[in-house]
Structure 1
Amino acid sequence: MHRSFDEGYRLLPQYCEQVNRTNPGSIASVYGNPIDNCFQRLFISFQASIYGFLNGCRLLLGLVRTYLKSKYLGTLLLATGFDGDGALFSLAFGVVNEENDENWLWFLSELHDLLEINTENMPPRLTILSDRQKGIVDGVEAYFPTAFHGICMRHLSESFQKEFSNMTLVNLLWEAAHALTEIEFEAKTLEIEEISQDAAYWIR
């Protein structure tokens, strides 16, 4: 807040050491580019967040990103749980130089290690929600093979609308997503198929 951005980046290793020392059980690591040692990645999960997620949250994780607006830009990656009231509960965050498949794979690897260290067995019922970024899809398959990977309906709906630009189809897609049984889902999918076989194939 009171110094230069450059000084802030230089202090990150010291900050991570302090987090690990004063918050036992926390995970805080900063990584530099091996060529010039410039900032590349940061991963932080506080012990209270880890304990709270494993002992008070549903086994559901949302993976999201947001772009940073500071001088050096970058991307904030987040793993967010949901408590018993459905409120967001932050488990871990990472800061990376850019959003790409390699950085998502790294983040999911760190997340896997965090959960493995703090549980006897990786929760087999874990559900992960995200968009369809290739790095996330590959990372979930590699590091959470027993998890169910659901795609965020907002992202799915946006992709579907770009592909077919038909609001009737988009509305039917949402109705299919809200179906409570497989029979109801199939009925909505058949309605979509009557309008566009390509759209039904895209959904399936």
Structure 2
Amino acid sequence: MLRSNTLWLRDYANEVQRCNPDTTVKIDVYGKEDLEKTTRMFRRIYVCLGALKRGFKEGGRELLGLDGAFMRGKYPGQMLTAVGVDANNGIYPVAYGIVESENQYSWTWFLTCLAFDLFSNSNFTFITDRQKGLLPIIAKLFPSVEHRFCVRHINENMNLTWKGGDYKEMLWRCATSTTIVKFQKNMDDLKNYNKKAHEWLSKIPPEHWSRAYFSGIPCKHDIAAIHDMADNCMDVGTSEDWVHESYKLQTWMNVYSHKINPVNGRDLWSDKAMK
């Protein structure tokens, strides 16, 4: 039996879930459901593939970047994404959604779906650009998380007024400071270079800076202290024992051990998916 175009999306979602266990697909439509109508007007879709969901949880790095991008072509809209970072600092996709526009309502819907998949009481750190209204949504749905602004977006906004490589270099020195003292020194350097640029950057609350105070990898001072303890007959193990589990090779292998299965063409969809 032929299916109408309006039902192909649900059939596709069923097939994705059949081929990829533990996958979440949620479809949102305009208006109230009317059982007498056979079609609905599409508004949003959320997808979190089971393999990516399991791999993200294996990684041990509860870091998620949120962003939106315009859709081009025949069907306009926006794509919302949640991406993690693997042990090699590579981008690891977790979930995506196609929505009508990037606004408070679509982000609330997307993050509600994400909270269901990843547990809202986890100690995530979210990194975002400076979308208005997004922080209260995150705080409500993920009460235990921290938040940081994306330095690349800060640089792009800064570059609108203060152009040149010097500003970018000083900004990244601030962002990669490994101690509070170094951060403050780098901020003072910017202040001496351009007071207005320093005032603009200082408006970002310190708790929202994505600074590298703790990376999970011992710095040279930590290594020196570990060797000193070893010289004093303390059992400190190896230097690798002090590295966070998320950076170890076995963890990286576990993350990518989950397979994303391809989806059959529509002619091969099962009777169950077609119902």
Conserved 8 A contact 2:122-2:142: no
Tell whether 2:85 aligns with 1:88. Answer: no
How many residue pairs match? The answer is: 193
Which of 17, 21, 40 is residue 20 of structure 1 equivalent to? 17
1:10 & 1:99 partners in 2: Cα distance? Answer: 25
* CA distance 1:72–1:55, shift in 2 (3 Å): same
Corresponding residue of 2:171: 173
2:85 & 2:151 partners in 1: Cα distance? Answer: 17
Conserved 8 A contact 2:85-2:91: yes
Alignment of 1:26-65 (within 5 A): 26-34=23-31, 37-65=40-68
Structure of larger gyration radius: 2
Tell whether 2:12 aligns with 1:11. Answer: no
Tell whether 2:188 aligns with 1:185. Answer: no
Conserved 8 A contact 1:57-1:81: no
1:19 & 1:156 partners in 2: Cα distance? Answer: 37
Conserved 8 A contact 2:130-2:149: yes
Q: CA deviation at 1:195?
A: 3.6
1:41-65 CA distances to partner (integer Å, 9 max, x unpaired)? 0001111111111013521111122
2:160 & 2:173 partners in 1: Cα distance? Answer: 18
1:123 & 1:97 partners in 2: Cα distance? Answer: 28
1:23 & 1:174 partners in 2: Cα distance? Answer: 40
Q: CA deviation at 1:197?
A: 3.5
**Percent identity of paired positions between Structure 1 and Structure 2:** 28
Q: Which amino acid aligns with 2:85?
A: F
Corresponding residue of 1:3: none
Conserved 8 A contact 2:69-2:80: yes
1:120-163 CA distances to partner (integer Å, 9 max, x unpaired)? x7322x22112111243232222123222111111101112224
Corresponding residue of 1:105: 108
1:77-96 CA distances to partner (integer Å, 9 max, x unpaired)? 11111222222221111011
* CA distance 1:63–1:190, shift in 2 (3 Å): same
Gaps of 5+ in 2: 33-38, 203-275
Q: Which has the higher strand share?
A: 1
Q: Which amino acid aligns with 1:16?
A: A
Gaps of 5+ in 1: 1-5
Pairwise CA RMSD:
2.3
1:145 & 1:197 partners in 2: Cα distance? Answer: 36
Q: CA deviation at 1:33?
A: 0.9
Tell whether 2:80 aligns with 1:77. Answer: yes
Conserved 8 A contact 1:80-1:90: yes
Q: 1:122 aligns to what SS in structure 2? A: coil
Q: Which amino acid aligns with 1:133?
A: Q
Alignment of 1:129-168 (within 5 A): 129-165=127-163, 168=166
* CA distance 1:176–1:59, shift in 2 (3 Å): same
Conserved 8 A contact 2:121-2:143: no
1:79 & 1:108 partners in 2: Cα distance? Answer: 9
1:75 & 1:160 partners in 2: Cα distance? Answer: 25
Conserved 8 A contact 1:63-1:129: yes
Corresponding residue of 2:121: 122
2:189 & 2:144 partners in 1: Cα distance? Answer: 33
